A and B are shown apart, each in its own frame.
Chain A
Amino acid sequence: MKPPPFDYHGPVTLDEALGVLAETGPDGKVLAGGQSLIPLLNMRLAAPAHLVDINRLPGLDTIEAGPGGVRVGALARHAAVERSAAAAAVQPLLGQALRLVAHPVIRNRGTVVGSLVHADPSAEMPAVLALLGGSVRLARRGGEREVPAEEFFTGPMESALLPGEMAVSAFFPALPGRSGTAFRELARRHGDYAMAGVAAAVTLDDDFRIAAARVACVSVGPVPVVVDVTAACGPRPAASVDWDAVAAAVLDRIEPEADIHATAEYRRHLTGVLAVRALRDAAREASEDPEASDASDASEASEASEGEEGA
C-alpha cells in the first residue's frame, strides 16, 4: 500500500527541525532512515500529520569512539557503525549485534538511533543499549536531556521521547578491561526479527574468574529484559560454572508471550539456551582480551570521560 498523506518538512538545520517539532507537537514525527517508519506508513499502521525529514541536517552522521564508549549520531546508518573499526575497538558488541539487524541493504539506510527510538522489544539495538547501560540524548527547542536506557524504553514501541523532542545521539559505554561480549539469536528466516535473542557481557577478574555477567533478552517482554547473572556465574572460571543454574536465573525473569512465530514455552527454551551460549562466548572473548591488564587502566580513565559524555 501507499503511505497516507502528510505535510513534509525538510529542515536544513537542527534548530529549524526542533522548531517544526515544537510547533507540530504530537502530530509531528521524525524521519531518519525510514526502515521501520515507512513500512508502518505503507501498511497504514501510522499516520502522522507532519513528517520532519532530518536527512539534510549536517553533523548528525557521526560515530565518535573514545575510551569511555561510542557516541552515535542520529544519522549514522547501521552499515557505517557496523564497519567502523574505531567503534568496534571500543565496544565490539555494536558490530556483533548490527550484523544481525535485518539485511545488509536495510542497514545501508536504517539508523542506530532510529532503531532505539522505534523501541521494538524484538530488535537488537535496544537490547545492546540496555545491556551496556547506555543513554539517548533528546533535544527539544531550547534544551536537551540525556535519558538512561533503563528509563528510555517504556513499553513495546514506546520510549521516553516526548512530543517536540528529537533523539540526536546515543551513547554506548565501553566495558572494563578483560571483558567480552556476544549476541546470539534465532529467527525463522535470515534477517527476520528473532524469536529469541540474547546479548551478553562478561568481565573476568585477574584470576580469570567471572566477576560480572549480564544478559539482555529480546522478544520475551515489552522492553529488553536485562538480567544480572553475576551471582549465578561467579566468582568461578567459565569452565566450572553451573550453566543450568544460570539459565534458570534468566528464565525466572522473563515472561514471553506466544504469537504465530513461536509459543511462549519455545521462546523460554530458546532464551535459556541462547543465554548460556552468549555468556560462554562472551567469557571466551574476555579471556582472550589481549590488552587485559592495560585495559583496566584505560577503564578508569574511561569512567571520567563517561561522566563528561553524560553531561
Chain B
Amino acid sequence: MNHAITLTVNGVVREVTVPGRRLLSDCLRHDLGLTGTHVGCEHGVCGACTVLLDGEPVRSCLTFAVTVDGHEITTVEGLASGGGLSPVQRAFSECHGLQCGFCTPGFLCTVTAFLRENPAPDHEEVVEAISGNLCRCTGYQNIVKAVHRAAEIQAEEAG
C-alpha cells in the first residue's frame, strides 16, 4: 500500500507517494532525484546517509519516509545558500578533508549541525561529534582540521 506524503526538502515543498517500507535515504535519491545523500551500510554504522531532520542530524537509512511526513529535511544539496559553498564545505575544501568524497555528504550534515550547537569545540568534542561517520580514505586528520577551520570561518563571518 502506498502513502502520499509531503516533505519540505531544502526549503522546497515536495509531494511524493511511497510504500511504507521506503527508507528516507531512498526516497531522497530515487523519488526526489537528490543523489547527494549517499547510502553506505544501511544499518546506521557508516553515517554517509546523514541528513538534517527539522535541523537535527539523523540517519536517513534508519528513518522511513512516511514517518517524517510533514517535516523539514535538509540534505547536502541544501547546506549552502546562493551559489557558493557553506562555511563547512569551504573548510573541507581548504583542509583537504576528503579524498573519494563518498562519506562527505554525511560529514557535512553532521558537522553543520554540530557547530550550530557548539560553535567553538575542543579536539575531544570534535572527535566525538564525528565518531559516527566513517571515512576510509583520509585517516580523519584533515577532517578534524576542517571542523576546526569551519568553526573559525563561522566565527569570522559572525564577527
Whether B67 contacts A31 by the Cβ 8 Å rule is yes
**Is A301's CB within 8 Å of the partner chain B?**
no
Instruction: Tell whether A8 pairs with B20 under 8 Å between CB atoms, given A39-B43, A105-B132.
Output: yes
**Is A191's CB within 8 Å of the partner chain B?**
yes
9-residue interface stretch from B52-60, B88-96, B97-105: B52-60
Total interface residues on B, using CB and 8 Å?
A: 30
Whether A109 contacts B66 by the Cβ 8 Å rule is no
Total interface residues on A, using CB and 8 Å?
A: 30
Residues of A within 8 A of B64 (CB): 8, 31, 34, 38, 53
> Main SS of chain B's interface residues?
mixed
Question: Which of A4, A43, A53 interacts with B43 by CB under 8 Å?
Answer: A43
Whether B21 contacts A6 by the Cβ 8 Å rule is yes
Whether A8 contacts B1 by the Cβ 8 Å rule is yes
**How far is it, in angstroms, between the C-alpha of A105 and the C-alpha of B109 when the chains are bound?**
10
**How far is it, in angstroms, between the C-alpha of A6 and the C-alpha of B26 when the chains are bound?**
17
In addition to A39-B62, A42-B23, A106-B62, 19 A-B residue pairs with Cβ atoms within 8 Å of each other are A2-B23, A4-B21, A7-B1, A8-B20, A34-B62, A34-B67, A35-B44, A35-B62, A38-B44, A38-B63, A41-B21, A51-B20, A55-B67, A103-B132, A104-B114, A105-B132, A106-B59, A108-B57, A109-B59
A-B contact pairs, 14 of them (CB 8 A): A3-B23, A4-B21, A5-B21, A8-B20, A10-B69, A34-B64, A35-B44, A42-B61, A102-B132, A103-B132, A104-B57, A104-B131, A105-B58, A108-B57
